[in-house]
Chains A and B, each alone.
Chain A
Amino acid sequence: MSVQNEDTKRRDFLKGALTGLGLGTFATMGIFSYSPMREFFLPQMVRKMKDFGACKSIKITNISETSWFDNATLMGDIKGAGGLLVNQYLFNWPPFGDGTGLAKGSYEKGIAKIKHLLPNKLEEAWKIAEENSVNPQNAGGFAALIEIERLDGVKKKYLLDTGWSYAWMDESFKREGIDKMLANGEIEALIISHEHWDHFWGLPVTMKYAPNIKIIVPEGFYPEGFQYIKDSGHKGELMVHKTGINDIEPGLCAIVFDVPIINRVFGEQSIFANVQGKGLVSISGCCHQGIIQFISMAKKELKYDNDQMYGIYGGLHISPFDDWDPKYDDLVIGLAKWDFKAIGCNHCTGLLTARKFVAAGYPVVQGTAQHRSKSKVYLGNGDTMVFG
């Protein structure tokens, strides 16, 4: 056999080997990757069962779930500004309106017009904001009062979020007596779920009554957000919760998710309560991380009574703008397996979602549709829900 033939053979062998390598790799990808055999290599879930205590009961009062009053107006602004990824501080929405029009604003120019009036001259500040802002009449806000009854009977209060419009939030605070609770120091802390306009920009209303209150924000706040806390007149402790589990008090913890959200906001914290003898209650401002994400994390990380997902309260961020997507159907279908006993939802959950929950037979707690809340499928403004 000649040397040339040996070379040819080697070349052919190499050619065959490399062709086979590609074929073998792609064929195994196709055959193995989505077969039941793949589960062999998947990591098994190890439940950590972190014990964060228990409480006797949780009562939630919805101060305001109406973050904006008209979806079409809000989405018109977002569309006009250039879509869902435009930085919220650029919109020229109140209170940061500077008179230059939609999507041409900035935190610095906006706050300069009202900073000197914060936190005590809110009516005057809001009037200036109204004159300089885009669609100021559409601003509302989300805020809820969480009352926890400890196992020894002692009750503690936390404010979850502080809304958007100074005028609307002040009205809502007064309606529910939050103004007095803040002024009397009855509320332990203000927990901000995330930096969005409708949960955070009403901060001076809380500062007006309790400038020394402890504020807890999730990791991911932008410099503008931290500056606004200072500019609003805050003089108390500011705590930044890191991604993951953060204890608040026995039976109550916050979980921070490093979740990207529209209008450049990043990071959200939601709350869990372990109600003795009942199970786990999830409480959220917007739940951008997704309610099933939220509860599946709890299943992995936390220990709770009866190993039962007991209740949900809050904005669940499914179809907040009258929008829909097939993945939301996945959520509506997927929620069944968690066997919740009581669901109270509002705000960014979306009315269509709430109606689909009802149609699916979930235990949705009805509201009263009062104080400008639109539907009884929501736990609306002024409505309460008790777990335990």
Chain B
Amino acid sequence: MMETPLYLEERSLVKRFSSPLSILLNTLFIMVLFYVSWWIFQDPRGIMRMYTPFVGYMWCRWLLVVMIWIAYIFDFWPFSRSWLNNTHPVLKGVILTTLTAVIFAVMLKLFFETLLGEYAITYFSPERLTKEGLVEFYALEYSAQAILMFAAIASWLSPAWVVAAEGAPWGNLKQPIKGFSIFIVTFLLSFIVYFVVYHSNMGILFDPWQKFAAVTPPWWEDFAGTVHGNFNIAWVMCCTVIVWMHETIWERYPFSMIQTPWIRRTASFFGIIAIAVALSFFLYYAQELIWGEAIRGTRRDAAPDWRWLHVGEMAIFWLLPTLYMHFYLKNGFNGYSKVVNIFLRTIATVLAAIALYYVYYKTAHLFLGTQKGFSHPQQFPMIPLIWFINVMLINYWFMDGWPGWRLAKVGEVIKVRSVEENGVLTASFYKGAVGGIVGGVAVYFAIIYLLPYMGKALTIF
């Protein structure tokens, strides 16, 4: 059986207007949609005020996960290709977004709060926590925290199974068998990872420590310098970001060079984790170089637990320009060879991420209703950034990039999926690679040498 390409891979989008106009139009559209929806649902000054913050955080993570399920795992099943191709993008966007919210509401109320919370694990149910004597506000926040952490893990594993493991071993099955198979496996895997990396955090959230139900103090205490699960949030968030780097601007390179499918899939899946862990260590170190060594027990930007959280936050700052570049700029750099393109895209998105980081912390509190400063315990830049990413996904995945883009008509565009450069590795490649590795080491040390100076030069507060 041949593998059926995903609808998103099969689909060809063409611009409705000349290049900058389409881009500007969509940029404006997603910004308006972001701000209006932010005001309605999240903003502490707005209508529903879900940014409490964990309730709002849980919602935006879960909407992301369900959208990934719909688009990547179930490939829009049960909607037919003809429905997807012929329905107006706005109507499609409304229906699919509503479906996303409904699926999430069912997951939240039936699966987490009722099935798990009422019959298995107390902290998934705010009502049970309230009955145990917790203030209602914190009962809701604690349960939201646990449920969102599951989503954080799922939003790495779900796409990773499709884009890195290539859906194996169910890649050739038809929907919905393929979707349900991958869904069940990634869901169970997410639970296993959740228990290993976050259950202990929840176990010490209550007094006395729940040492018969969870490992307390948790296994990461000595290494991470904290008992907080934020240590795991750091690398899990980096995994979430790297999996999308791999799928979008990196075009699955360099793992796409591996010809043997099972080796490629295994290398991609674990390679993403390896890159993510390396990135998380580096981003933690970057904070030490700029703000000094973290001291256990301190608060805010000096605390190890916050530093690990901030690693994940910094990674998300990289994801947003990456997805924007992929969706609306067609990956930006396409005029050179694939590897040069990838290199230029990576540099461009890193620079954009740094600029976004600076602008966000300088200005976000003025229009998002959030707190000024880096490290307020209720200040999570991940929430608005992921909310923005959700809006982009709705626009690009569910609405075919309307209003700036539209689906191509049959024969209008020849879709070429890049699978090139999988050729034999030559001696020149290896020579270049050796030189490159030495250069990479030099680049790393140059960056860490310069970081303290950059930190002083770019004082935000």
Contacts and interface: CB of A to CB of B under 8 A. Distances in A.
Interface of A: 8-34, 38-39, 41-43, 45, 71-72, 75-76, 78-79, 81-87, 90, 258-262, 264, 266, 288-290, 292-293, 296, 321-327, 329-335, 352, 356
14 contacts: A9-B428, A20-B432, A24-B440, A76-B136, A78-B137, A81-B49, A82-B49, A85-B378, A90-B45, A289-B299, A293-B298, A326-B205, A326-B227, A330-B305
A292 B298 contact: yes
A260 B372 contact: yes
Contacts of A333: 227, 296-297
Contacts, number: 278
A34 B284 contact: yes
Interface in B325-348: 337, 339-340, 342-343, 346
Question: Which of B207, B288, B432, B441 has the largest count of A CB atoms less than 10 A from its CB?
Answer: B432
Contacts of A352: 207
Given A14-B337, A38-B285, A84-B52, A19 B254 contact: yes
B436 A24 contact: yes
> Interface SS of chain A: helix, strand, loop or mixed?
helix
Contact of B436 (A19, A262, A296): A19
Contact of B421 (A15, A82, A258, A296): A15
A85 B49 CA distance: 10
Contact of A326 (B229, B288, B370): B229
Contact of A85 (B205, B371, B425): B371
B2 to A, nearest CB: 30
A120 B118 CA distance: 55
B310 to A, nearest CB: 13
A332 B421 CA distance: 56
B417 interface: no
Interface in B405-419: none
B95 interface: no
Contacts of B305: 326-327, 330
B138 interface: yes
Interface stretch (B73-81, B100-108, B271-279): B271-279
B204 interface: yes
B434 interface: yes
Contact of B304 (A8, A262, A330): A330
A84 B297 contact: no
Given A20-B436, A323-B138, A330-B305, 17 more contacts: A17-B439, A20-B434, A20-B437, A21-B436, A27-B437, A27-B440, A27-B441, A32-B444, A33-B284, A38-B288, A43-B292, A87-B45, A321-B135, A323-B135, A326-B201, A329-B204, A330-B296
Contacts of B217: 329
